[in-house]
Homo-oligomer: A and B are copies of this chain.
């Protein structure tokens, strides 16, 4: 038997961050492009953009900024808040996954 978990973070009752959303933010940072991040997640550009705006709205923070050249044209990257949140979420996620394994072994045995 193996334990599994799906994690997310709510802010004022609304979904703010989740594994899925953080993956999108990470891909934006890694590719420097919202269009490429969207493609990697098999999302339309419009839908990926909407997701980013929704995350920002629910958290009340700007997480992605676009360089000159317009949305997509000049590339996108995370703001300092964006990088910080992604890093904190990943640390939180990894810690919970480690705890999950420990608690499972402690409860159910090997």
Stoichiometry (number of copies): 2
Interface residues of A, count at CB 8 A: 25
Chain B residues with Cβ under 8 A from A92's Cβ?
Answer: 3, 103-104, 107-108
Contact A4 B7 (CB under 8 A): yes
Chain B residues with Cβ under 8 A from A8's Cβ?
Answer: 3-5
Instruction: Write the A8-44 contact mask toward B (1 if CB under 8 angstroms, else 0).
Output: 1111000010000000000000000000000000000
Closest-CB distance, A4 to chain B (whole angstroms): 5
A99 within 8 A of B: yes
Other A-B pairs beyond A2-B11, A5-B96, 8, CB < 8 Å? A3-B7, A4-B10, A5-B5, A5-B6, A5-B7, A88-B107, A96-B100, A96-B103
